[in-house]
Structure 1
């Protein structure tokens, strides 16, 4: 008997340009063999030049969405992205405690590429204290990790490892420290878990279209861990998918700014 196709939920904001947020997540889920559902935590007005406005629904409406989908659909993994404010952070944390999904990937989205705030500053503490302990894997970039810890941004891989362990001590089961902000010839990521640390290297891809890379990576990990059952394997395969999507992004012509990845590069 064949295994059922995994169902994966994204809890995140909407990107009207289609390159990041729930749009990127759903494309990634489909590309990697998973069925995607969504709970929308924010509406953004954005295009390839950046975010110009954000509208967040009431936390009660986010709860209504969560209860609707969890009450009907079996979810094999959950990816969490933009949460906008502390009320929504707490609504999501409450739902995770009620429904207890097996795999939870928390992408700590705080600011857009054009420096538009995607999480209220006062919500950082709620994210750290309430959601971090409920996550199987947290995937911060270096500025996000520094904000969560109240420390300067890591400047080398040793500091990345130390901050990854500090985040794990705060309650996350495992942390993927993303090293794209390091001034290095490659783009190293460090997976930090109770069993030890593992380095995932990768070349820097010189393409102009990089919008949605963080969303895509965390969504890919969620889709793949539901199928592989192992964080390290899911991360390695997700990074390969992301690298190919970046390389093939030049085939798309979307907007006049920083365009999206090519999520369906294997089929189009």
Structure 2
């Protein structure tokens, strides 16, 4: 029997299990990885409504990370919602202390679909320049960033989307999700640090919107990377798996088939 790779998700808990760490674990397990998880937040939400978010203390997060790395060999980590870039940097530093060669995939969730701002907890003393500097420190430490169009527009207020793409991909690989595109909806693009650009067009027609589809995609890509696929193949397979979830039924909650 082939041993499954350990894949760690550091993300929030969603009681509806459509998004967050439970959706990640479903995905990881369905794709033949073994999912480990660290909880960054306890949210009060379902698939259509988001009420509030209770952030996990950073010391608790660090302790969870410590005990998992002390026991398991982890080479790929997916990170979802965090309180702010400063906290994210602290989490990443703990992970890198455990394995300085680890590859981190960051899904930069800035707002919920019901408009809850996950990064509203930045220190009041932080101006926009400091916040962007903290974000750039994150970019220098991760392997892949997976924003959608709404998110990439907000990452650099002074840059156009095109300028932001060029800048981010000079620091880390960028997988830009196309579900919120105004044109060519569903067309995703991968921009690598080597200057290459790959396009992933949608294949399935009978898809419907799903709560947590971005979580599924980023955790699928992470799992395929852990299974040994190249970045481009992991992105391609991750997109195809996500399309299966989007076409699994007509509700907002997708079905995972193991």
TM-score by length of 1: 0.85
Distance 1:199 1:146 in 2: 19
Question: How many pairs does the alignment contain?
Answer: 249
Question: Is the partner of 1:134 in helix, strand or coil?
Answer: coil
Question: Is the partner of 1:52 in helix, strand or coil?
Answer: strand
**Residue pairs, 1:69-148, within 5 angstroms:** 69-99=68-98, 100-120=100-120, 122=122, 125=132, 128-148=135-155
The answer to whether 1:221 aligns with 2:217 is: no
Cα deviation, residue 149, structure 1: 1.8
Deviations 1:105-152 (A, max 9, x none): 110011011111122363753651332211111101112212222246
Tell me which moved more, 189-198 or 236-245: 189-198
The answer for unaligned runs of 5 or more in structure 2 is 124-130
Moved over 6 A (4+): none
1:261 counterpart residue number = 254
Tell me which moved more, 103-112 or 194-203: 194-203
* Aligned partners of 1:79 and 1:105 also within 8 Å: yes
Cα deviation, residue 208, structure 1: 4.6
Distance 2:193 2:209 in 1: 35
1:20 counterpart residue number = 19
The answer to whether 1:192 aligns with 2:207 is: no
| CA spacing shift, 1:127–1:206, aligned 2, 3 Å | farther
Tell me which moved more, 230-239 or 138-147: 138-147
* Aligned partners of 1:8 and 1:77 also within 8 Å: yes
Question: Is the partner of 2:140 in helix, strand or coil?
Answer: helix
